[in-house]
Chains A and B, each alone.
Chain A
Amino acid sequence: MPGPRAVQTDRQTTETGSRVRWRLAIYILAVFTLAVALSQTSRLPGPLGEVLRANITADHDTTALFYTEVNGWKDWGGR
């Protein structure tokens, strides 16, 4: 039969596991909510939404980190 200390440790482990699962669920929900909210930003009224709608219409990849990721970089001419 397990002693009181062993029972306490088991309970702590269960509580910790439960807390971790809750925290994980909340974080996943937060990331999902953020993704959904960002996907809808082009619906915003005013100039803010206008910029984002223009990006969608022109198919701009605004996430490109380097010029070689941007469509048409080969054709950029001299200035």
Chain B
Amino acid sequence: MDHDIAPATSRPTLLTSEDWWAVWLGGLLIAAASFGLITAVAGVARWTTNPTDAFEGQGLSLLILGLGLALVTALAARAMGGSFIQHQAGFFFLFLLAVLSYFLANQTGIRAAGVGYAFWALLIGLLISNTSGTPNWLKPALRSELYIKTGLVLLGAEILFNRVLSLGPAGLFVAWLVTPVVILFMCFLGTRVLKVSSPSLVIVIAAATSVCGVSAAIATAAAARAKKDELTLAAGMTLIFTVIMMILMPIGIRAIGMDPIVGAAWIGGTVDATGAVVAAGAMLGEEAGQVAAIVKMIQNILIGVIAFLVAVYWVTNIEDSTNGKRPAMTEIWTRFPKFILGFVGASLLFSFVLAPTLGDETVTAIVDLTSDFRGWLFCLAFVSIGLESNFRALASQVQGGRPIQLYLVGQTFNVVLTLAAAYVAFGGILFDKVL
């Protein structure tokens, strides 16, 4: 993100381009998890009043994780023309800030309120960059794009298409009918009505609103080569409104006496973040919680398709340097963000090769590991983005409140349309009612 589009003549090689390195690193971590070379990934535990509980028995594991990630990312940095030693030096401090972000997010009360590591990582990064300034020795380690793209290749392994078909038609109806309509509506609203100057900002906000919040924002931002400030703005809005909707929607649904199953499908289709959906759905009952979770899961899986389509659309239509003519296939290939191939490839490999051959249980065990790695990489990316941003640049993205208007109007449209779809699918009109 934030980089200039490579001219047609430059052809990044397999060993010098960031996109390809994301594929190699993601592939390496997936292979290590699949072949049993890695059996656990260190994490910060939940804590309530005693902060040391967060690190109980995890100190050495976190150190090994930090060393391992520093080594593999430094190798990539070296191959891309950076300094191996300088990257390592900065990376340890960056990793410490990521640990601090997880530490804050895993406090019991904060975790229950839905304020996750992405929020704290951005805030801590912004705090440093806007006060003392980001130190020069830290800058070689700030490779937010590499961390995001590698994380997205790992995210691909979590997009299990084989599970979608087993999730039932009602959930598919709500999640897959409404989502594309909301995206198209928000794109029209953002570009034609509100005239937001950046198409990439519009698609990032649209995906965050209609698909699955921060993870969708990350995926589309990378696919559309959005600026870091655009991702920060979209992620910030979705994080705030997720907390508000997670709290208010179950209260409202219970207050008006809505069918909890319909209400749960409504929550699943509208609340941005998955964890918040599960929590809000559970407020309506156990069965309702399952319905909310499944609708959201189906939406989650849609992000693979959307990121791929956005990447194709951007290289063929938006990044047009050919004077209005349709670019040639070679030009499209040159511009195409190659990490998307790793992202889609990982999804297809896990869904249609590993799941049938190894079995669902083995695949989910591997996915549990890759998911932990992906969390750390996204956290490192958000700290890096915060460290590379400043409030003035962020304020310039606000453009008189138009992106916020886009989010609010789009989310309102999403809420209304999803409510109608939830009634039709889960209210006993189109499909048998879920008991």
Q: Which of B115, B282, B300 contacts A63 (CB 8 A)?
A: B115
A39 to B105, CA, bound (A): 10
For the complex formed, measure the closest distance between the CB of B33 and the CB atoms of chain A, giving whole angstroms.
Answer: 13
Contact with B along A14-55 (1 / 0, CB 8 A): 000000100110011001000100111110000110011111
Asked if B290 is at the interface of the complex by the 8 Å CB criterion, the answer is: yes
User: With A52-B112, A54-B282, A76-B294 as given contacts, are A66 and B107 in contact (CB-CB < 8 Å)?
Assistant: no
Inter-chain CA distance A38–B112, complex, in Å, is 9
Stretch at the interface among B188-196, B246-254, B333-341: B246-254
Return chain A residues, CB-CB under 8 Å to B273. Answer: 62-65
On chain A, the residues within 8 Å of B117 by CB distance are 63
Whether the pair B168, A60 counts as a contact (CB closer than 8 A) is no
* A16 CB to nearest chain B CB (Å): 11
Q: Which residues of B contact A67 (CB under 8 A)?
A: 158, 274, 293, 296-297, 300
Closest chain-A Cβ to B379's Cβ sits at a distance in Å of 10
Q: Is A38 touching B109 in the complex (CB atoms < 8 A)?
A: yes
Whether a CB of chain B sits under 8 angstroms from the CB of A56 is yes
**What is the CB-to-nearest-CB distance from A60 to chain B, in angstroms, rounded to a whole number?**
4
* Size class of the contact patch on chain B: 35 or more
Q: Does A61 belong to the interface (CB within 8 Å)?
A: yes
Interfacial chain A residues near B360, Cβ < 8 Å: 74
Known: A41-B113, A66-B300, A69-B275. A52 touches B247 (CB 8 A): yes
- Alpha-carbon distance between A61 and B290 when the two chains are bound, in angstroms: 15
Q: Determine whether B399 belongs to the interface, using a CB cutoff of 8 Å to chain A.
A: no
Q: How big is the A interface, by class? A: 35 or more
Instruction: Give residues of chain B (97-123) contacting chain A, Cβ–Cβ below 8 Å.
Output: 104-105, 107-118, 123
* Cα(A2)–Cα(B28), bound, Å: 59
A30 — nearest CB in chain B belongs to which residue? Answer: B127
Partner among B107, B279, B293 whose Cβ is within 8 Å of the Cβ of A62: B279
Contact B170 A79 (CB under 8 A): yes
Residue of B nearest to A35 (CB): B104
Tell me if B132 and A24 are in contact (CB < 8 A). yes
Q: B305 → chain A, closest Cβ, in Å?
A: 15
Q: Most chain-B Cβ atoms within 10 A of its Cβ — which of A48, A60, A65, A73?
A: A65
Closest 6 CB pairs of A and B: A64-B275, A63-B116, A39-B109, A55-B112, A62-B114, A78-B168
Can you pick out 25 interface pairs between chain A and chain B where the beta carbons lie within 8 Å of each other?
Answer: A20-B133, A39-B107, A39-B108, A39-B109, A48-B251, A51-B251, A54-B282, A55-B113, A60-B279, A61-B111, A61-B275, A62-B112, A63-B114, A63-B273, A64-B274, A65-B273, A66-B215, A67-B274, A68-B158, A68-B367, A70-B278, A70-B293, A73-B293, A79-B294, A79-B434
Give the A-binding residues of B (Cβ under 8 A).
Answer: 104-105, 107-118, 123-124, 127, 130-133, 155, 158, 166-168, 170-171, 212-215, 246-247, 250-251, 273-276, 278-280, 282-283, 290-291, 293-297, 300, 360, 364, 367-368, 371, 375, 378, 426, 434
